[in-house]
Structure 1
Amino acid sequence: MLPATSSTASLGSQPPASRLRHWSAWLLCVSFFFMVPMEFSMLEWEKTGEGLWRIQSAEEPGPWVGLQFLLWMLVTFVASLLFIITGSLQGFFYEKCAFRERVEGLELVYYFAWVQFFTWMTLFPYFFISGVWEWLDSIVAFLPHVIMLGVSLVLYRGSWSVLGFNRLGAGRWFFIIGVVVCLYLLVFYFLDSIVTEPVARSFNLELQSWREDDISAGIHQAIKSGWGWFLLQLFIIGVVGPIAEEVVFRGLLMQGLLRRMGVVFSVVLSSLIFALFHVDVAFFAPLFVMGLVMGGLYVWFRTLWAPILFHIVNNSVSVWMEVFRG
């Protein structure tokens, strides 16, 4: 049994320093998730000549967005200070005792708190030099994925099976690969015609994604900078990104929901959060379906390697198709 700082202990029964640290972790966790509505508030909706809605990132956010951003920065800064100071005073006791057997509620809070802390610490200096080096802009865009993956591997060190990284035999691997390839081909050939285009027509959305455009620009900029930069971009988009997102949305969020809400609800809710985090209105529906597919793979095979493999194939193929399109 874990000590009093375990996620099973009530906040009221803990020392003041522990309670303060828990509350600062909650603030950082909320700060992490608040980035999603904040990014949505920075989108511009423009009516095209064809009567469709074109959605893109605003170049000059309004005063309300700026105030919202400043308040978010202030709260994140204060919460980060409290989180680190109280953690240092306690010798990061909670991190040493938890993160061993299963995904619990407070463990998720601490995980996202650490992700937000490192994201804020690394991206805050970047705000002052953004736009100086184009190659740096494309790399920094994927830095949160590296942080999400790194924090999960450190917190669950020695017990990665809790995240879903199970050991698989050769036969199991061949079966997973076969299923993943078949599902990917179905998604590749039928997702747009069955989901993406009908939903876009229903809501008068122009099928132009500012997020996909930014990724494409980053890929072409990497190619111009040399094949070394392109291979780095391919590795980040095609490998690091998928692993990090699957750890978060299937290995942590969905696994935590499974214990409390059942298979169907956990798959649907984790897929919904997965789609929202991409902040892409035009492609929200296909992203949601992709989340359902990867959630289904996790439930079916009971290993994180299945959705990770599907995600890697999808992202890597997309990168190479962008290269061949020129």
Structure 2
Amino acid sequence: MSLPHLSQSSPSHREKPFSHILRHLSAWLLCISFFYMIPMEFASLEWEKTSEGLWRVSNGDGTGSLFLLQYLLWMLVTLFAASLFFITGLISGFAEERYHNQGLLSGRDLVYYFSWVQFLTLAFLLPYYAIVPETEAEGGSGGWFGLIAPYIPHILMLGVALWIFRRRLPDLGFRQAKGKKWMWMIGAVGVLYLLLFFFLDALVTLPVAEFFNLELQSWREDSISQGIFQATRMGWISVLGQIALLGLIGPIAEEIVFRGLLMRGMMQKIGTTAGVILSALIFALFHTDIPFLAPLFIMGLILGGLYAVFRNLWAPILFHVVNNTVSVVVDVISKH
């Protein structure tokens, strides 16, 4: 019996050259860089005491010396990792992306997913934000790309997932469901949305804000509302674009990340209950919206619960789409 030819084995079973080691290192750095943006955004928030004695939290300009030093180090490491990631990818022929595309998702798959999202986000947004100050100085608003720019990360999160996991979408939770199961999912989404719509503010949002003396003013919601207002001034095509970005692309992208990737991996390691709770916490922190952390956490629990019960990513996606689309449509109507 002859031995198998080593030259026919997959790249994962060969001895890795130094360029592969560097690529794995750069992928990890980019992945860490992606999640490190969360504490950085929290660090940039500004707290102000109002005349009513409430804390108003706004998105600051990050001019503090400590924050600027942190941001500079983060940017240098990220740019170095991005350059190394792409160069070593060219050297290896992007072997990880080409060969690791079958079977169950692994931790390495997640690392390369987030590294690609971070790399492409930098590639798209750095040139844009480099010219934004000049555009604003001229009195412009950035045009249609200015409306899209805040949602570039979500577009990339969705696009990279459909590319890297193109042959493993069922492993993300995109599973077919028969008519009866669809009815159960739609019914559960409808009931939970109505409960959220009528009781969330009274039972969670207001009591938590009152307990911590927080002013219920969200810089994130104000930014979204401002973008919708600008879209209404530009025409109905821009409005439809905002509805698609906020009501469809954003929810699908976030559900892939928080439920299809993170929560699924956590469920395998620490169990379903802990996976739902921890993924909901990361989901809330990801939005960096202090006054609405509690309701965002509750929403994360609902989304995670839907995924845990139905084992189908379409259930939380449907809830997320309904919630966001209704909010956007109501905001659009209020602008007219």
Whether the TM-score (by the shorter chain) exceeds 0.5 is yes
1:2-13 equivalences under 5 Å are 3=10, 5=12
TM-score of the superposed pair, with normalisation by structure 1: 0.94
Q: Does 1:286 pair with 2:288?
A: no
Mark the structure with the bigger radius of gyration.
2
Matched with 1:51 is: 53
Moved over 6 A (4+): none
| Greater CA drift, 47-56 or 157-166 | 157-166
Q: Does 1:196 pair with 2:205?
A: yes
Whole-Å Cα distance in 2 between the matches of residues 164 and 190 of structure 1?
29
Shift of 1:18: 1.8
Aligned-partner SS, 1:252:
helix
Aligned-partner SS, 1:36:
helix
| Greater CA drift, 264-273 or 136-145 | 136-145
Matched with 2:5 is: none
Aligned-partner SS, 2:291:
coil
Matched with 1:98 is: 100
Shift of 1:67: 2.5
Q: Which of 221, 239, 246 is matched with 1:237 structurally?
A: 246
> Is the 1:196–1:283 contact (alpha carbons within 8 Å) kept by the matching residues of 2?
yes
Q: Which amino acid aligns with 1:147?
A: L
Q: Does 1:263 pair with 2:249?
A: no
Whole-Å Cα distance in 2 between the matches of residues 157 and 59 of structure 1?
39
> Is the 2:11–2:95 contact (alpha carbons within 8 Å) kept by the matching residues of 1?
no
1:23-38 equivalences under 5 Å are 23-38=25-40
Matched with 1:250 is: 259
RMSD value, Cα: 1.6
Q: Which amino acid aligns with 2:330?
A: M
Aligned-partner SS, 2:12:
coil
Aligned-partner SS, 1:279:
coil
Q: Which of 295, 320, 327 is matched with 1:311 structurally?
A: 320
Matched with 2:131 is: 129
> Is the 1:103–1:255 contact (alpha carbons within 8 Å) kept by the matching residues of 2?
no
Q: Which amino acid aligns with 2:44?
A: M
Q: Which amino acid aligns with 1:159?
A: R
Whole-Å Cα distance in 1 between the matches of residues 320 and 44 of structure 2?
27
Shift of 1:60: 5.6
Whole-Å Cα distance in 2 between the matches of residues 158 and 260 of structure 1?
24
The CA deviation string for residues 63-100 of structure 1, in whole angstroms up to 9 with x for no partner, is 32222222222111110111111111111111122242
Whole-Å Cα distance in 2 between the matches of residues 104 and 227 of structure 1?
43
Aligned-partner SS, 1:206:
coil
| Greater CA drift, 118-127 or 169-178 | 169-178
Aligned-partner SS, 1:54:
strand
For this pair of structures, how many residues does the alignment match?
A: 320
Q: Which amino acid aligns with 1:248?
A: V
Q: Which of 219, 235, 249 is matched with 1:210 structurally?
A: 219
The CA deviation string for residues 225-244 of structure 1, in whole angstroms up to 9 with x for no partner, is 10110100110000000000
Q: Which of 214, 225, 233 is matched with 1:224 structurally?
A: 233
Whole-Å Cα distance in 2 between the matches of residues 285 and 100 of structure 1?
38
Aligned-partner SS, 2:48:
strand
> Is the 1:29–1:116 contact (alpha carbons within 8 Å) kept by the matching residues of 2?
yes
Q: Percent identity?
A: 53
Shift of 1:55: 0.1
Q: What stretches of structure 2 of length at least 5 have no aligned partner?
A: 1-8
The CA deviation string for residues 284-322 of structure 1, in whole angstroms up to 9 with x for no partner, is 000000000000000100010000000000000101111
The CA deviation string for residues 206-225 of structure 1, in whole angstroms up to 9 with x for no partner, is 01100000000000110011
Whole-Å Cα distance in 1 between the matches of residues 291 and 247 of structure 2?
22
Q: Which of 35, 38, 44 is matched with 1:42 structurally?
A: 44
Matched with 1:154 is: 163
Aligned-partner SS, 2:57:
strand
